[in-house]
Amino acid sequence: EPEVTQTPSHQVTQMGQEVILRCVPISNHLYFYWYRQILGQKVEFLVSFYNNEISEKSEIFDDQFSVERPDGSNFTLKIRSTKLEDSAMYFCARAIEAFFGQGTRLTVV
Amino acid sequence: QKEVEQNSGPLSVPEGAIASLNCTYSDRVSQSFFWYRQYSGKSPELIMSIYSNGDKEDGRFTAQLNKASQYVSLLIRDSQPSDSATYLCAVKYLAAGNKLTFGGGTRVLVKP
């Protein structure tokens, strides 16, 4: 059973559209992360969330990105205006050791 | 810039043999080290973590850490075809918050 559950498993969107990726933790933890992996490339850190606040973000995580925990349990990663280069697998993970969810494959066309 | 380097492979190993994977990192002041297995199209799965110099064994896996030489390795004993995957090394750098920096992974092929 995954540590976190992500939806959708695959999202296809047109360039310039907004997308929202969701992550549901199985149990309560303090640390959550979003990572992404462009096809054939390294897993890259995007943002960390500690105790319901952003604790750290990478240079990738620019103004186009936002993360929320709207109801105290689910996490969302929003990309406001998608670009072709946003196409990647997006992973939610809990804890510093990064127990990953199954990922959302985002395809921007 | 904190880096983690791995040989991309593929590392071809006969079934039953030992697969040896290496990972080097750029900052001597590093806290924690992790190995993940990633099957194609799937998410990384944590195999081992290691925090202090020496060896750590878990089943068929052994992680070895040498902080003075700035490398961490993973040995897979009695390799099975199901071990065929990409193995990712990740480092938590002391001065880089609580995120992980990943290497590019080593692809392992275990041939029956």
Q: What is the pLDDT of residues A3-32, one digit of tens each?
A: 789 999 999 999 999 999 999 887 677 788
SS (H, E, C) B24-90: EECCCCEEEEEEEEECCCCCCEEEEEECCCEEEEECCEEEEEECCCCEEEEEECCCCHHHCEEEEEE
Q: Is A45 close to B101, i.e. CB distance below 8 A?
A: yes
B49 contacts chain A (CB < 8 A) = yes
Bond preceding residue B112 cis, omega within 30 of 0:
no
DSSP B104: -
DSSP state of A99: E
Q: Are B64 and B73 in contact (CB under 8 A)?
A: yes
Q: Comparing A1-5, A70-74, B16-20, B100-104, which segment has the lowest mean pLDDT? A: A1-5
Residues 26-45 of B with CB under 8 A from A: 32, 34, 36, 42-45
Q: Which of A7, A36, A45, A102 to mutate to test the interface with B (most CBs of B within 10 A)?
A: A45
In angstroms, the CA B41 to CA B107 distance is 13
Give me the total of CB pairs closer than 8 Å, taking one residue from chain A and one from chain B: 53
Q: Cα B33 to the chain's mean position, in Å?
A: 8
**To probe the interface with B, which of A56, A97, A99, A102 has the most B CB atoms within 10 Å?**
A97
pLDDT along chain A (109 residues), means of 10: 86 98 82 94 94 90 91 88 97 90 97
B58-76 per-position pLDDT tens digit: 999 999 999 999 999 999 9
Q: How many C-beta atoms surround the C-beta of residue B22 within 10 A?
A: 16
